[in-house]
Amino acid sequence: MKTPTTDRDPSPLSEAGASTAAQARFQRLHKILRDRICLLDYAPGHHLGEEDLAQEFGTSRTPIRRVLGWLESEGLIERRHGVGTIVTDVDLRSLDQVYRLRLELASLMGRLAPMRCSDADLALLQTHLTRCSKLRQQREPTEFARLNMDFCVALFSMIGNAPLREITERLYFQTSRIWLKSVPAMDLEEEISHFERQIFDVIEALRVGDHGAVGDICRAHISMSFNRMTLLRHAQAGGASLGATATA
Amino acid sequence: MKTPTTDRDPSPLSEAGASTAAQARFQRLHKILRDRICLLDYAPGHHLGEEDLAQEFGTSRTPIRRVLGWLESEGLIERRHGVGTIVTDVDLRSLDQVYRLRLELASLMGRLAPMRCSDADLALLQTHLTRCSKLRQQREPTEFARLNMDFCVALFSMIGNAPLREITERLYFQTSRIWLKSVPAMDLEEEISHFERQIFDVIEALRVGDHGAVGDICRAHISMSFNRMTLLRHAQAGGASLGATATA
DNA sequence: TAGGATTTGTGCGTATGTATT
DNA sequence: TAATACATACGCACAAATCCT
């Protein structure tokens, strides 16, 4: 009765509202720590002490350990007995395979099943477009990364195929830090323009009901973003200037 | 030095050997319980008591709870405070989305990255073919399901793209029970023939180095197996005979 | 409706493993 | 090399939640 039988709800995650207080706390702590990691508040290599977190959130170590176990399964942290819990490092080379897979999954986004898109969902995406316009003046990379995260989470939640939805979100959070890490050497103005265009195009595709196009748009932007960062890495390695022009 | 840098090892699972005793025990218990669930030794609805399992394996509840948490994230069990831990139910309708996704991922198996296939790997698949021939006489569904599991795990471990490898295996174990559950009303002889053909074709494709064909073969067999079970369900629902001929 | 039995979640002290001095 | 410091893993007792009588 609470959830449609065609939509399995395997994990204590899943955006479906938590029924118990314990599950609600789990989701809250998970989201907080995940965002801190993905927004580089906890940089790669940062040490996460169980005792410290327990004190900060007013619980014992036990619930903290549950959250850390989940973050470990998502590849965001690494725990070693006797050593500690540290935030995993991210770089383009090690996450190349994740990017290749994300490209293919993006194509399936709207084709495997129709997007679940209500008018309220479209309105939410519109607010993201508005936020993007405002951020153009501020030029704060972290806030821009947060907007990107909010938009992607909102969009992914519309994916009709439940397992594809979970996997897509999981892989997104595995790679999202790379962009923010690369920002200092990138053209922020150009990045904002690309992203604003993506939001606009996705909304347009959803409005006319072309769900397959949504996936194609996302795939194209993932691919281009990855290529921009790859070129950047080559430019840095080659000692070229960090200007707007990057030639091979 | 222990693992190539291009192959991330996020979870305490990952077939990579466990370095510590605790991780080895985790993997061992996880595999034992997972197999019991997927081979219907623990049928859907079966109650798993933490205290009982702790006693059986000679540990406290803590390591057991870690394993159960992982099995829950894989969708094989469900835990509820005050109620207990029960094995999830599986049926074709609720896992329809998983099947659709598995079809698409199968296509990517050998195309996203080359299969990692050594001579030893090929020899292992040959033993599966031999086991299949022997099982033809025995006609024991559970042993046949175990062979299918061993073959799939061996094949999936060759997938070059690491995240695709993990996801493919995860989704396989989410659906593997359905076949064994459907066996009593199916033509076992026909199922064995189909599977033997799949093993043979996969080995042939790997031998000639056509990695893309491996995925196509798997996709075709997943699709046909799903269709056979779907027809079976319709036949049962319609009250038709359970004979070999099933016409739409 | 209330109370007891059962089961998972939590809290905390201890054991074990690692790194550094 | 040995000892010390520190962090995670473990084991046990208690709390909270659910179900049945």
Whether A111 shows a pLDDT value over 90: the answer reads: yes
Using CB atoms, pick whichever of B94, B100, B174 lies closest to residue A112.
Answer: B100
Whether A12 shows a pLDDT value over 60: the answer reads: no
pLDDT of residue B129: 97
Domain-embedded: residue A239:
yes
Shortest distance, CA B201 to any CA of chain A (angstroms): 25
Is A36 or A17 the better-scoring residue by pLDDT?
A36
Q: What is the CATH number for B71?
A: 1.10.10.10
A81 near B145, Cβ under 8 Å?
no
Whether B9 shows a pLDDT value over 60: the answer reads: no
Domain-embedded: residue A2:
no
Q: Are residues B143 and B176 in the same domain?
A: yes
Domain-embedded: residue B7:
no
Q: Are residues B114 and B142 in the same domain?
A: yes
| A101·B81 Cβ contact <8 A | no
Q: Are residues B80 and B182 in the same domain?
A: no
- Give me the mean pLDDT over the B23-51 stretch: 98
Among the listed residues B183, B195, B185, the one whose alpha carbon sits nearest the alpha carbon of residue B221: B195
Q: D2 C1' – B101 CA distance, angstroms?
A: 57
Q: C8 C1' – B15 CA distance, angstroms?
A: 30
Q: Which residue of B has its CA nearest to A108?
A: B104
Domain-embedded: residue A7:
no
Banded model confidence at residue A42, pLDDT cuts 50, 70, 90 = very high
Banded model confidence at residue B231, pLDDT cuts 50, 70, 90 = confident
pLDDT mean across residues, chain A:
90
pLDDT of residue A1: 36
d(CA B46, CA B66): 19
pLDDT in tens, B89-136: 999 988 999 999 999 999 999 999 999 999 999 999 999 999 999 999
Among the listed residues B176, B197, B179, B178, the one whose alpha carbon sits nearest the alpha carbon of residue B188: B179
**Residue of least CA–C1' distance to D12:** B60
Strand-pair category, A84-87 with A77-80? antiparallel
**Chosen domain end from B50, B66, B87:** B87
Within 7 Å of a protein beta carbon, the nucleotides of strand D are: 6-13, 16-19
Whether A28 shows a pLDDT value over 90: the answer reads: yes
d(CA A68, CA A71): 5
What does residue A84 show for φ and ψ, rounded to 5 degrees?
140, -175
Banded model confidence at residue B7, pLDDT cuts 50, 70, 90 = very low
Banded model confidence at residue B20, pLDDT cuts 50, 70, 90 = confident
Q: Is the shortest CB-to-strand distance from A243 to strand C under 7 Å?
A: no
What does residue B85 show for φ and ψ, rounded to 5 degrees?
-115, 120
Shortest distance, CA B23 to any CA of chain A (angstroms): 10
- Give me the mean pLDDT over the B197-220 stretch: 98
pLDDT in tens, A181-233: 999 999 999 999 999 999 999 999 999 999 999 999 999 999 999 999 998 76
Please give the residue range of the domain that contains residue A227. 96-247
Whether B153 shows a pLDDT value over 90: the answer reads: yes
What does residue B159 show for φ and ψ, rounded to 5 degrees?
-60, 125
Q: What is the CATH number for A200?
A: 1.20.120.530
pLDDT of residue A17: 60
pLDDT of residue B210: 98
Q: Who's near B156: CB < 8 A, 6+ residues apart?
A: B165, B168, B169, B172
From chain B, the residues in CB contact with A8 under 8 A are 75, 94-95
Domain-embedded: residue A5:
no
Q: Which residues of A184-218 are buried (b: 16+ CB within 10 A; e: fewer)?
A: eeebeeebbeebbebbebbbebbeeeebbbbbbbb
Share of chain B above pLDDT 70, in %: 86
Within 7 Å of a protein beta carbon, the nucleotides of strand C are: 6-13, 16-19
Q: Are residues B218 and B102 in the same domain?
A: yes
**Chosen domain end from A87, A116, A147:** A87
Whether A248 shows a pLDDT value over 60: the answer reads: no
Q: Are residues A131 and A239 in the same domain?
A: yes
pLDDT mean across residues, chain B:
90
pLDDT in tens, B180-189: 999 998 999 9
Domain-embedded: residue B82:
yes
